[in-house]
Structure 1
Amino acid sequence: MNIIKTILLVGVTSVCVACSSTKSQTVSNTKASSNTLKDAYNGKFYIGTALNLNQIWERNEKAKEVIETHFNSIVAENCMKSENLQPREGEFNFTDADKFVEYGEKHGMHIIGHTLIWHSQAPTWFFKDANGNDVSREVLIERMRKHIHTVVGRYKGRIRGWDVVNEAILDNGEWRKSKFYQIVGEDFIKLAFQFAHEADPNTELYYNDYSTAIPAKREGIYKMVKQVIDSGVKVHGIGMQEHNGLDHPSIEETENSILRFSSLGVKVMVTEMEISVLPNGRPNMGAEISDRVAYRKELNPYVDGLPDEKMKELGARYKEFFSLYLKHQDKIDRVTLWGVGDGDSWKNGFPVPGRTDYPLLFDREYKVKPFVQDLIELGRKK
């Protein structure tokens, strides 16, 4: 009998110890989960990321864990662009876009739609008639209206903001001579914002562009957005894409752009950020996706991994930019990284195909890079 009591006592003690151990581990994990980017910048600005199809459909568990742990805002990398939503006139395919919105809603995220009107990744039919000739101004305006009303209307009340127009100004500050510009004229931007507002009066509407730290381009964007606002049409924000490198743009010119854009009374957002560690291919290249530079071995120096000194340089550069964003947190609504892990980044193929880049906060295995903790601490202190 004593032996049985002893066995029972040992068993109960073991269970209690196990329960205590589990409780400690749970508390520890809870504490660890609060050590995240979205928590560190809570109340300052949203921390976002762009999702590819594998991530939207939850096919990658490692990426899924990173997204749900560190980010509280998402944007679709490609599935909401017009060539994917309406590949043929009147034939809409919302399968992937619906899943993207559902994923964001499931996790209580700040959802951004990208992008309604863009000269690139637009279907060819948008600008052509049955004979292959350019359509009239009236026809293109009606196609814009139908596309925007259908897409924005479908997600009315579910999407926080839309990149309405993408990349309409050149680096020299002049209007890009896209098909939208050639056929409709400057009014195409005003009309796009007007149609989006009609489709969902409560969603925010943004203009989005790259290389915004170039003074001439900054001024061109400023004048264009002011023109739209002065016409009485709503523009809620300007997105600075921030496709940056280790030596460009300067922090000073980036700050000048934040100040200039915010003076219009609109929000400023960092919408597509990454920092490439690779040579640019040729001087002063922006993010025009049609630009390409031929592969040369010297343009791909880190095939076998990023050296420690370069990782430190990358971390210091990120810290510079995040410090700037924190300085102007009263103006900045969101900082979004253009991809989750290094392997997802478009910079592996742009502007030089076939390279190995390391531009994001998480590596190819979705492991956190050493400097991310510095960014978390930075956010906590400010």
Structure 2
Amino acid sequence: MKQLRRRSTLVAAGAAALLLVPAAVAVAGGNSGPADTSLRTLASKQGLRIGTAVDAAKLGTDKPYTDIVAGQFSTVTPENAMKWESVEPSRGVYDWKQADELVRFAQQHGQAVRGHTLMWHNQLPGWLTTGVANGTITDTQLRDILHRHVTDEVTHFKGKVWQWDVANEVFANAWETPRTDGLNADDFWIGHLGPGVVADVFRWAHKADPKALLMYNDYNITGEDGTNVKFQAVYDFVKKLRAQGVPIDGIGEQGHLDTQYGFDARRYQDDLQAFGDLGLKVAVTEADVRTFVDNATDQVPTDALAQYAQPYEFSELLKGCELVRQCVSFTAWGVYDGDSWIPDTFSGEGYGLLYDVNLKPKPAYSTLQQDLKLAAGTVRHAGD
């Protein structure tokens, strides 16, 4: 049923986007145009930070990529460099090299850093998952290990990370097994340590760096799946934690969209606002809009309307953030289609980001540029 409804939505998006997308897309890189037309400069005029997830290994080694990251964005998120398997590949042996280099790059270019991520069920070091599986790491030991990991990583970057995704994706989706509180009963951390671990990691992170913004980060929490069930579970749970004094500062709405499914922009904005009304900051943390493509190399959409639907949906994501005073940042999950997680994760899909496989800006880029121009000068929030 979603796909049948989506066809009419896609046509409508295409028609609307024809009005949004300029006939020619401006060249957008580090030094390719007037400074005041970069996304970061335009966003700053309304007190908003705009960012991207970054492959730390490409910074300084891939000049076109580096120029775009430096010139267009005011926040950077390490796509993998701060995940547990990257920073502690062997037990007790840390490797901060790539993460430190990314932080230095950000400091050199006046960018804030979003730390990603402290507690997630995926990309855990092999020594940890193997030890839990074979019983050499008990649940009691696992909690102590997690405590040390959170404390050590946040302490290492104390004063250098603006936002931390503290807990990531612990709530159940429609196809998963929920507990009565909405948490995913099959999540690695919930299964081994129980629901109390969510509050624990926020407390540990806050103790290590009291000034960092501490976020809960997830997808499908603003109605993207066609329901508001997951939103309500997260809302109720976070409201309870806040009442208990747990130092959770904000919600990260990932913003992964697909042109074949419906997207209710009004519900999305209303849900962001509901989180904001709890006294939380909100951020769009991993935005992309994927579609079916001819192949993973060229990533040309198989449906011509997708080239209009993508900028339309990116625009709705950004405008929803702009209209919520508590929304402090908007981040795309990657710089360009040639380095995107999408083709390897969703068979036959791609074309999800602002730049194409050749690092050329797409219509989605110029649409966001225009949205930011129109909102310039709007006083939205206090920033931090």
Q: CA deviation at 1:211?
A: 1.0
2:199 equivalent to 1:218? no
Aligned-residue RMSD, C-alpha: 2.3
Cα separation, 2, equivalents of 1:363 and 1:187:
43
Residue number in structure 2 paired with 1:337: 332
Instruction: Give unpaired runs (5+ residues) of structure 1.
Output: 1-28, 280-296
Are residues 361 and 185 of structure 1, via their aligned partners in 2, closer, same or farther at CA, if it must alter by over 3 Å?
same
Q: CA deviation at 1:223?
A: 1.8
Q: Which letter maps to 1:358?
A: Y
Are residues 68 and 129 of structure 1, via their aligned partners in 2, closer, same or farther at CA, if it must alter by over 3 Å?
closer
Residue number in structure 2 paired with 1:186: 195
Matches within 5 A, 1:1-382: 32-42=34-44, 43-56=46-59, 58-126=60-128, 129=131, 132-133=134-135, 135-172=137-174, 174-176=182-184, 177-214=186-223, 215-246=228-259, 247-278=261-292, 305-306=300-301, 309-328=305-324, 330-352=325-347, 355=348, 357-382=350-375
Structure 2 counterpart SS, 1:238:
strand
> For residues 225-252 of structure 1, what are the alpha-carbon distances to aligned partners after superposition, in whole Å with 9 as ceiling and x for unaligned?
1222222120111000001112433212
Contact map agreement 1:50 1:339 (CA 8 A) in 2: yes
Are residues 40 and 327 of structure 1, via their aligned partners in 2, closer, same or farther at CA, if it must alter by over 3 Å?
same
Q: Which letter maps to 2:354?
A: L
- Under a length normalisation based on structure 2, what TM-score does the superposition of the two structures give? 0.80
> For residues 7-32 of structure 1, what are the alpha-carbon distances to aligned partners after superposition, in whole Å with 9 as ceiling and x for unaligned?
xxxxxxxxxxxxxxxxxxxxxx7972
Structure 1 counterpart SS, 2:122:
coil
Residue number in structure 2 paired with 1:21: none
Q: CA deviation at 1:305?
A: 2.7
Structure number with greater CO (CA < 8 Å, separation at least 6) is 2
Are residues 61 and 356 of structure 1, via their aligned partners in 2, closer, same or farther at CA, if it must alter by over 3 Å?
farther
> For residues 94-116 of structure 1, what are the alpha-carbon distances to aligned partners after superposition, in whole Å with 9 as ceiling and x for unaligned?
11111111111111101111000
Cα separation, 2, equivalents of 1:229 and 1:128:
35
Contact map agreement 1:162 1:204 (CA 8 A) in 2: yes
Are residues 64 and 311 of structure 1, via their aligned partners in 2, closer, same or farther at CA, if it must alter by over 3 Å?
same
Cα separation, 1, equivalents of 2:132 and 2:266:
50
Q: CA deviation at 1:87?
A: 2.0
Are residues 149 and 270 of structure 1, via their aligned partners in 2, closer, same or farther at CA, if it must alter by over 3 Å?
same
Q: CA deviation at 1:171?
A: 1.6
Aligned residues with identical type, % of pairs: 27
Work out the number of aligned pairs and report it.
331
Q: Which letter maps to 2:306?
A: K
Residue number in structure 1 paired with 2:25: none
Cα separation, 1, equivalents of 2:364 and 2:137:
52
Q: CA deviation at 1:125?
A: 3.4
Cα separation, 2, equivalents of 1:163 and 1:126:
20
Q: Which letter maps to 2:166?
A: V
Q: CA deviation at 1:134?
A: 6.7
Greater Cα radius of gyration, structure 1 or 2 = 1
Structure 2 counterpart SS, 1:41:
helix
Contact map agreement 2:289 2:353 (CA 8 A) in 1: yes
- Under a length normalisation based on structure 1, what TM-score does the superposition of the two structures give? 0.81
Structure 1 residues 141-150 or 318-327, which shifts more?
318-327
Structure 2 counterpart SS, 1:34:
helix
Q: Which letter maps to 2:47?
A: K
Are residues 129 and 30 of structure 1, via their aligned partners in 2, closer, same or farther at CA, if it must alter by over 3 Å?
closer
